[in-house]
Structure formats: structure tokens, C-alpha cells
């Protein structure tokens, strides 16, 4: 029993200490960090890193880009994936199965496999250095997992309900918007959170397609701070805190949904 | 019951984007893998299986990269799964403390790889880092290391970071799997006088096999996709000792502008993943029983 409690505490500290270290370092000066990397800030909290990073970097712009890309990617992926999931569960035949297989095939392919041709395609389509380009690729890449989760859920909805509305003269679109979507809300919200975390944190596609500062998202900007600030960890960690803040705040309030969302993909399998 | 043909319209927007931005590039990867395309010029020549020959016989860096990736994968799959399962069994009951601990353990999952990379670069820093300082405090100076700079251990340092990053997520999956096992099976085992190990081997493990399959398959894919973490922490160095297949593809394509060759490695990458996933499903399926 004692050993169990001890293990739990050790694991908890392994998570907590690095996080506290990030928070503390972000309010220390560089000199102080070099002198005493682990100590508390002696001259009180220094908020200067925060003002400095907003002055030296177009943080607001990066924040805006991340927000736009994430919101549109999540919304459109959910919209298109739920339509496909609805289609598959309505068809409920070999056609549906083939389409389900075609879409979920994408889950098995790591993004790095097709990044080379995708890059030249984006150049050809003039979609590099464009938020729209990022959004379109994001949708295509996360569609498989979203279709997978949503189809699993929609197949459990009672068929009789849909059939009754068909008899009442409702078209597919009406059944989708008035019945399928509202009934799938738990699954939609779980998928939404999963997608939020993925899109907000994505590095690969911005790294491939964005070189212009005006279109950079937070993870890419953060990565490039490393080149600029080198081992100036107070500044790097200030960046980490700003970039993670929306997710952390959302996590504190919507914890249960996060846990459901981030494991939904895995559990439905 | 007849369904209106309009149902096919529901697939259109998704299928359109999926075909252009996913299926087409994936299929072209296969096509370009037989060429010497540099990614910039319009002209390229077919080189037959030349790229594959080079990858499999002539490229020592690629061989090293595959080895690194397997080391990384094995370490992450084994230790992350063990940690996740062991702790899932301890925080299984939905008490207040356990719910809090699960939320805490899960926390790193919501961070970006770049953030995690910065945090651990600082921890591993040879002069500033807390890891070396803690070792000194404990009088274990001889264990101090340049964790990311020593080419013998850098890949394992990265694996530990990956485990810190994702063990909590796997723990939650195990908790869900364990909670689904009916309580009376444990009662029966107790009455029959089964030992703790016997109970685990005969009751918990077989019923947990579906979740374990998912966790292990997911962890494997994740460890092949650890591109961001490696890219931000070591960039594949020192001496390619942390280069994994995904970062190598990036280097070959975007630093050496050898798109044809990078495509052939992508195809091999796909085959390796498919093969490992297949093996795992086969191995774990045989352990699956339902009561």
C-alpha cells in the first residue's frame, strides 16, 4: 500500500516539477536562470519576458493564425466527416463498407509518407504561405479518424427513427440536420476536442508550407524561437506558456470531455 | 427500405478534399519513388528500382535510421505500456484523488510536441538542466551525462521524453478497459483461491487484450510519427544517432532535394509500419478470450 502511494507521488512529481519549472523560469531573468536554474526568482516575479516576447515577436499574429486555422479545420472536418459517417450508416451495404474502408485507410498512413508529393502539389496549386492551404490539408488528414469515430457512433443510432422520418417525407438532408447531428452530440464533441488538440499543436504542415512570418502558427513560431533565443530558456518558456494557454485553460474546465475526446479514437477500435 | 440517391451527395465534399490532398499524394509517392526527381525542376527520369536498391543496400544512414526507429519504438512500446498499465491498475477506482491523479498524468498529452521538446531540452541540458543537478544532489555525479549530446544514449533520452508525453493517454485507455471487466469474475477468482498473479494472468489480461492491442498499436504508430519531437530536440543528431525514418525523409527531400529517393523511403516506411502492425495484431489476437 505504501509502495503504491509512493509510486503515485513520484509519477505526480515527474509531471508537476517540469511544469512548475516552465512557469517559474518564464518569470525569471536570464542571468538568474544561469546562476540558479532551479531556484525561486529572488528579485520577485519578472514579467518582462512576457512584454519582451510581445514586442520582439508578432505573437498576436501567430495566435490569430493558429486560431483561424484550428477553428476552420475543426469545424469543417467535423462537418464533412459527419456527413460521410451519416452516408455510410444510411447506406449500410457493401458500398458503405468500401467507402468506410477507403476513408479509414488514411489512419494507417503516417503524414510523413506523402509529405514530399503533397509539398509539390501545394506549390503547384499556389497554396503555400496560405492559411487556406493549411486548412484544406488539415481537413484531408484528419478526416479518416473523424469518420472512423463518428461512423462507429452513428451506426448505433436506431434505424427505425430514420425510416419513420423518411415515411413522413423528410429528405436525407433533413434527417441529417434534425436527427443524426443532434443525436450524435456526445460523439461530435469528443471528436471536436481531439481535433482541437491535434490542429492547435500541429507542426509538420506549417513547417512544410509556411515560410512567411505573416502566416506562421504558434508551434512553428515557437520552433523558430529556438534559433533566435538559443538557450534563453526564460523566453522560450514564456513562448511555451502563451502557446499552451488556450489548451490548458480549456483542459481545466472541460477535463472530462478532453479525456473522452483524446481516447475516443483509440477506444472505438 | 429504399434510400434516396441524394445520400451520395453527402460524400462529395469530404471525398473531394481527401482525394486531392491525401490519396493523390500518397499514390504519387509510389510513382516518384521510381524516379530521380529533385522536386524543383520539371524533368525527371525513371530509374527503375534504383532508389530501392540504394536504400536497402547502399545507404548506411538509412539502415541506421531504421535501427534507431526500432530502438525508440521498442523502448517506448515496452516501458510506456508497462507504466500505463501498472498505474492504471492503481488509480482504477473513481475516487476523488484518483480522478485528480488521472487528470494530472494525462496533462502532457494536450501540450504541443514543440513545447515538450523545449521542456525536456532544458531538463537534459548538461549545465543548466535539472537532471544533472539532481544527480549531483544525490551524490550520483558519475551518472551525469550530456543526455542529448552523447550519441550512445540520445535516442533513449528522446524515448523517455516520449513516454512522459503520452503514457497518461494510454493509462486512460487502460482504465476504461479495466473498468469494463465485470467485478464478479474477480470474486470467483478470490473464492477459488487464485493468487494475484493467477488472477491477472487468467482474468485481467485476457479481458484486457483488446485495450492492450489498441494501446500497443497506437503507441507503435505514435513512435514512428515522433517527427516533431525529434526535429525540435535534436534534429536527428548527433551523428544521425537520433535520426528516425520520418526525419530522414524530411532531410533527404527538403535539405538534399532528392524527392525521388525520399519517396522510395516513404514507401518502405509504409511497408515497415504495415508489417509491424500486422505482427502485433496477430500476436495479441491469440491472447484474446471472452468469458
User: What's the pLDDT tens digit per position in A165-193?
Assistant: 888 888 889 899 988 999 999 899 989 99
Closest-approach residue (CA) in chain B for A242: B115
Q: Span B141-160, mean pLDDT?
A: 89
Residues of A within 8 A of B112 (CB-CB) are 200-201, 203, 218-219, 222, 243-244
Question: Is B291 among the domain residues?
Answer: no
Question: Is B240 among the domain residues?
Answer: yes
Grid cell at residue B71: 530502438
Closest-approach residue (CA) in chain B for A147: B14
Question: Is B48 among the domain residues?
Answer: no
Question: Is B27 among the domain residues?
Answer: no
Give the number of C-alpha atoms closer than 13 A to the C-alpha of residue A71, restricted to the C-beta side: 7
Could you report the per-residue pLDDT of B260-278, keeping only the tens digit for each? Answer: 999 999 999 988 888 887 8
Residue A268's pLDDT is 41
- Asked if the C-beta of A100 comes within 8 angstroms of chain B's C-beta atoms, the answer is no
Grid cell at residue A58: 508578432
Gap between the terminal Cα atoms of chain B = 37
Here the CATH number for the domain that contains residue B221 is 1.10.3720.10
Of residues A1 and A129, which shows the higher confidence score? A129
Cis-peptide into B254, omega within 30 deg: no
Could you report the per-residue pLDDT of A208-241, keeping only the tens digit for each? Answer: 999 999 999 999 999 998 888 887 888 999 999 9
Rounded Cα distance, B244 and B230, in Å = 8
Of residues B144 and A88, which shows the higher confidence score? A88
Interface of A with B in 170-199 (CB under 8 A): 171-173, 176, 197
Residues of B within 8 A of A204 (CB-CB) are 227-228
Question: Is B204 among the domain residues?
Answer: yes
Residues of B within 8 A of A263 (CB-CB) are 169, 172-173, 176
Which burial class, exposed, middle or buried, applies to A199 when counting CB atoms under 10 A from its CB (0-12, 13-18, 19+)?
A: buried
- Chosen from A30, A263, A265 to mutate, greatest number of chain B CBs within 10 A: A263
Of residues B211 and B70, which shows the higher confidence score? B70
Q: Which of A129-138, A173-182, B105-114, B186-195 has the lowest mean pLDDT?
A: B186-195
Residue A125's pLDDT is 94
Record the pTM: 0.90
- Asked if the C-beta of A80 comes within 8 angstroms of chain B's C-beta atoms, the answer is yes
Please tell me which of the candidates A19, A171, A263 has its beta carbon nearest to residue B173. Answer: A263
Question: Is B122 among the domain residues?
Answer: yes
Closest-approach residue (CA) in chain A for B166: A262
Rounded Cα distance, B168 and B257, in Å = 39
- Asked if the C-beta of B144 comes within 8 angstroms of chain A's C-beta atoms, the answer is no
The H-assigned helical ranges of chain B are 12-18, 24-32, 50-53, 60-90, 96-106, 113-124, 130-137, 154-179, 183-191, 196-199, 205-224, 227-233, 245-254, 259-285
CA gyration radius, chain B: 23
Please tell me which of the candidates A7, A99, A269 has its beta carbon nearest to residue B90. Answer: A7
Q: Which of A187-191, A259-263, B86-90, B193-197 has the lowest mean pLDDT?
A: A259-263
Dmax (CA) for chain B in angstroms is 77
Question: Is B49 among the domain residues?
Answer: no
Please tell me which of the candidates B17, B90, B176 has its beta carbon nearest to residue A136. Answer: B17
Residue numbers of the domain that contains B281: 55-285
Whether A112 sits inside 8 A of B105 (CB atoms) is no
Question: What is the total count of domains within chain B?
Answer: 1
Helix/strand/coil for A224: helix
Residue A168's pLDDT is 80
Rounded Cα distance, B5 and A41, in Å = 68
Please state, rounded to an integer, the average pLDDT across all residues of chain B.
88
- Asked if the C-beta of B257 comes within 8 angstroms of chain A's C-beta atoms, the answer is no
Rounded to the nearest angstrom, the minimum Cα separation between A267 and chain B is 7
Grid cell at residue B72: 525508440
Question: Is B59 among the domain residues?
Answer: yes
Amino acid at each position: 500500500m505504501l509502495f503504491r502511494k509512493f509510486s503515485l507521488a513520484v509519477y505526480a512529481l515527474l509531471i508537476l516539477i517540469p511544469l512548475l519549472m516552465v512557469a517559474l523560469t518564464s518569470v525569471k531573468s536570464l542571468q538568474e536562470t544561469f546562476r540558479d536554474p532551479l531556484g525561486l526568482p529572488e528579485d520577485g516575479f519578472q514579467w518582462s519576458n512576457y512584454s519582451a516576447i510581445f514586442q520582439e515577436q508578432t505573437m498576436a499574429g501567430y495566435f490569430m493564425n493558429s486560431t483561424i486555422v484550428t477553428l476552420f479545420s475543426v469545424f469543417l472536418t467535423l462537418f464533412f466527416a459527419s456527413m460521410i459517417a451519416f452516408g455510410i450508416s444510411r447506406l449500410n451495404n457493401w458500398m458503405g463498407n468500401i467507402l468506410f474502408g477507403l476513408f479509414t485507410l488514411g489512419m494507417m498512413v503516417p503524414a510523413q509518407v506523402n509529405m514530399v508529393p503533397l509539398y509539390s502539389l501545394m506549390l503547384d496549386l499556389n497554396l503555400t504561405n496560405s492559411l487556406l492551404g493549411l486548412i484544406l490539408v488539415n481537413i484531408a488528414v484528419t478526416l479518416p479518424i473523424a469518420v472512423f469515430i463518428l461512423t462507429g457512433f452513428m451506426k448505433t443510432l436506431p434505424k427505425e427513427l430514420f425510416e419513420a422520418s423518411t415515411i413522413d417525407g423528410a429528405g436525407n438532408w433533413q434527417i441529417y440536420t434534425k436527427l443524426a447531428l443532434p443525436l450524435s452530440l456526445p460523439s461530435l464533441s469528443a471528436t471536436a476536442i481531439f481535433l482541437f488538440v491535434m490542429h492547435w499543436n500541429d507542426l509538420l504542415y506549417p513547417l512544410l508550407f509556411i515560410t512567411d512570418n505573416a502566416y506562421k502558427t504558434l508551434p512553428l513560431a515557437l520552433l523558430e524561437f529556438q534559433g533566435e533565443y538559443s538557450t534563453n530558456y526564460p523566453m522560450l518558456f514564456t513562448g511555451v506558456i502563451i502557446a499552451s494557454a488556450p489548451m490548458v485553460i480549456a483542459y481545466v474546465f472541460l477535463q472530462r470531455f478532453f479525456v473522452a475526446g483524446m481516447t475516443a479514437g483509440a477506444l472505438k477500435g | 427500405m429504399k434510400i434516396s440517391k441524394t445520400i451520395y451527395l453527402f460524400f462529395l465534399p469530404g471525398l473531394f478534399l481527401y482525394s486531392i490532398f491525401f490519396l493523390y499524394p500518397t499514390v504519387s509517392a509510389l510513382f516518384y519513388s521510381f524516379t530521380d526527381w529533385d522536386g524543383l525542376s520539371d524533368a525527371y527520369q525513371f530509374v527503375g528500382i534504383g532508389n530501392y536498391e540504394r536504400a536497402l543496400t547502399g545507404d548506411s544512414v538509412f539502415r541506421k535510421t531504421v535501427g534507431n526507429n526500432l530502438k525508440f519504438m521498442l523502448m517506448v512500446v515496452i516501458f510506456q505500456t508497462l507504466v500505463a498499465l501498472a498505474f492504471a491498475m492503481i488509480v482504477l477506482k473513481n475516487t476523488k484523488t484518483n480522478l485528480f491523479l488521472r487528470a494530472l498524468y494525462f496533462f502532457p498529452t494536450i501540450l504541443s510536441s514543440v513545447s515538450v521538446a523545449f521542456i525536456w531540452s532544458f531538463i537534459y541540458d548538461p549545465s543548466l538542466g535539472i537532471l544533472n543537478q539532481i544527480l549531483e544532489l544525490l551524490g550520483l555525479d558519475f551518472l551525469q551525462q550530456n543526455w542529448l549530446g552523447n550519441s550512445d544514449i540520445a535516442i533513449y533520452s528522446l524515448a523517455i521524453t516520449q513516454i512522459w508525453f503520452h503514457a497518461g493517454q494510454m493509462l486512460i485507455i487502460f482504465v476504461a478497459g479495466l473498468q469494463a471487466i465485470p467485478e464478479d469474475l474477480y470474486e470467483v477468482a478470490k473464492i477459488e483461491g487464485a493468487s494475484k498473479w493467477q488472477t491477472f494472468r487468467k482474468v485481467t489480461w485476457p479481458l484486457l487484450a483488446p485495450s492492450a492491442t489498441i494501446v500497443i498499436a497506437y503507441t507503435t504508430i505514435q513512435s514512428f510519427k515522433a517527427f516533431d519531437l525529434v526535429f525540435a530536440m535534436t534534429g536527428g543528431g548527433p551523428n544521425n544517432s537520433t535520426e528516425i525514418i520520418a526525419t530522414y525523409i524530411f532531410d533527404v527531400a527538403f535539405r538534399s532535394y532528392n524527392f525521388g529517393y525520399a519517396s522510395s523511403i516513404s514507401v518502405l516506411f509504409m511497408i515497415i509500419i504495415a508489417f509491424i502492425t500486422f505482427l502485433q495484431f496477430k500476436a495479441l489476437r491469440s491472447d484474446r478470450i471472452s468469458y
